[in-house]
Amino acid sequence: MDSFHPPLRTLMGPGPSDIHLRIREAMSRPAIGHLDPAFIAMMDEVKEGLRAVFRTKNALTFPVSAPGSAGMEICFVNLVEPGDKVIICQNGAFGGRMQENVERCGGVPIVVACEWGAPIDVEQVDDICRQNQDAKILAFVHAETSTGVRANAAALCALARAHHMLSIVDAVTSLGGSPVDVDAWGADAVYSGTQKCLSCTPGLSPVTFSAQAIEKVRTRKTKVQSWFLDLNLLLGYWEGDAKNKNKNKKTRAYHHTAPINALYGLHESLVMLHEEGLDNAIARHTKMHNVLKAGLDAMGLQFLVAEEHRLPQLNSILIPDGVQDADVRTRLLQDFNLEIGAGLGPLTGKIWRIGVMGHSARFENITLCLSALETTLAAMQAPITPGKALAAAQAAYQDAYTA
């Protein structure tokens, strides 16, 4: 075997996003023990930084030592017991994964099926809740990565509370790029990932749990089916030993060896987000979306999702007639070192997913994407309008930063 040297790509797919140089440098720092007092102090800063991004005061807010899929699983395996009814809003691929989690926990999924590319119908969900008054949980995806649709999280969490249910919210693609207001929503369990709008590497999943969710975990009648993801065990590592009478002494019960250098990267990501300001970071994602939209509109390409329900950081673009999805993405990767995403499920071959997330939400990335896409499609004689995208993007950029 030889050393692996990856090609230098520009990542504008559904994730991961480009990783900032500061985060890569942070991850190269010397490793220390995961129970070292200095590392424990850094853990506390990471938790506090995540509370700020989630906009919550939840004590149990921490990064799971695994990617966003494990963040999803930790919520379901801890909150769902065998026989529990769980109402799942499904308008994309990741609502389907929620259903799979419920079934594996022995729960009973009640699926509210909505059209892919359309928002979750809150009234439809309310009707299903009324028909299933014994349901324990309402679960939905805030930012559906397979389509680029944003859900009305405040309304759906309010429904859960009104029907005496807990809520589980997928914020993998929204955290750091769209407002995630955990306390204002009254959400009970929210999970995300570090590889998207936080500009960090894949491999960690920030989660936060309300006091009501923790009480549900502590009063379970059955054991959590996953040892590694059992919050009763993880509490001792991330929150410390409750039996320790010396409150000034930071102690942690051993649970697992944390991914030390990956956590350095997340810490640096949160430092950078604090420096930029969360509201400024969210605004930057919206501005770069508008720049991309201006260029795509000028080219004659259309979005899948209606503008009022569209995610700024995940843009689903309808593939023009006569164009082969894989051929375009292959050319972009080979000729321009540019990655965009394909459609999933029923949208396979029908859309491209262009990510404008984290460090990838920059003007130079947008112009590269527009130029490469226009050049490639024009060479394939696709039905587009060439020669106007970059000028439109430049005008939108000037409008965004001079307003």
Chosen domain end from 274, 297, 313: 274
The CATH number given to whatever domain includes residue 352 is 3.90.1150.10
Residues 285 and 268 in one domain: no
Please determine, for residue 246, whether its predicted confidence score (pLDDT) is greater than 70.
Answer: no
Whole-number pLDDT of residue 250: 56
Residue 10 belongs to a domain: no
| Alpha-carbon torsion, ordered 377, 383, 385, 390, to 10 deg | -30
Please determine, for residue 247, whether its predicted confidence score (pLDDT) is greater than 80.
Answer: no
Model confidence band, residue 240 (pLDDT cutoffs 50, 70, 90): low
Whole-number pLDDT of residue 234: 86
Stretch 147-173: mean pLDDT, rounded? Answer: 98
Residues 89 and 151 in one domain: yes
| Alpha-carbon torsion, ordered 227, 229, 232, 237, to 10 deg | 100
Residues 99-157 pLDDT 10s:
999 999 999 999 999 999 999 999 999 999 999 999 999 999 999 999 999 999 999 99
Whole-number pLDDT of residue 243: 45
Please determine, for residue 23, whether its predicted confidence score (pLDDT) is greater than 60.
Answer: yes
The residue type found at 194 is T
Residues 287 and 385 in one domain: yes
Whole-number pLDDT of residue 401: 85
Q: Is 141 helix (H, G, I), strand (E, B) or coil?
A: strand
Residue 39 belongs to a domain: yes
DSSP class of residue 86 equals E
Residue 330 belongs to a domain: yes
Chosen domain end from 274, 289, 318: 274
| Cα separation, 271 vs 367, whole angstroms | 28
Q: Is 311 helix (H, G, I), strand (E, B) or coil?
A: coil
Which among 271, 99, 269, 115 has a CA at the least distance from the CA of 198? 269
Residue 146 belongs to a domain: yes
Model confidence band, residue 245 (pLDDT cutoffs 50, 70, 90): very low
**Neighbouring-strand partners of residue 91:** none
Question: What integer best gives the mean pLDDT of the chain?
Answer: 94
Residue 1 belongs to a domain: no
Whole-number pLDDT of residue 254: 77
Residues 216 and 322 in one domain: no
Residues 268 and 336 in one domain: no
CB count, 10 Å around CB of 228?
A: 16
Residues 330-344 pLDDT 10s:
999 999 999 999 999
DSSP class of residue 313 equals S
Residue 11 belongs to a domain: no
Number of domains in the chain: 2
More confidently predicted of 300 and 234: 300
| Cα separation, 385 vs 296, whole angstroms | 10
Stretch 92-102: mean pLDDT, rounded? Answer: 95
Residues 149 and 268 in one domain: yes
Residues 344-387 pLDDT 10s:
999 999 999 999 999 999 999 999 999 999 999 999 999 999 99
Residue 56 belongs to a domain: yes
Please determine, for residue 252, whether its predicted confidence score (pLDDT) is greater than 80.
Answer: no
Chosen domain end from 274, 298, 313: 274
Please determine, for residue 248, whether its predicted confidence score (pLDDT) is greater than 70.
Answer: no
Residues 155 and 181 in one domain: yes
Residues 157 and 244 in one domain: yes
Residues 184 and 283 in one domain: no
Please determine, for residue 12, whether its predicted confidence score (pLDDT) is greater than 70.
Answer: yes
Model confidence band, residue 249 (pLDDT cutoffs 50, 70, 90): low
Residues 371 and 255 in one domain: no
| Cα separation, 228 vs 221, whole angstroms | 19
Residues 269 and 282 in one domain: no
Stretch 51-67: mean pLDDT, rounded? Answer: 96
Range of the domain at 161: 21-274
Cis peptide before 346 (omega within 30 of 0): no
Residue 6 belongs to a domain: no
Whole-number pLDDT of residue 353: 98
Residues 264 and 311 in one domain: no
Please determine, for residue 237, whether its predicted confidence score (pLDDT) is greater than 90.
Answer: no
The CATH number given to whatever domain includes residue 192 is 3.40.640.10
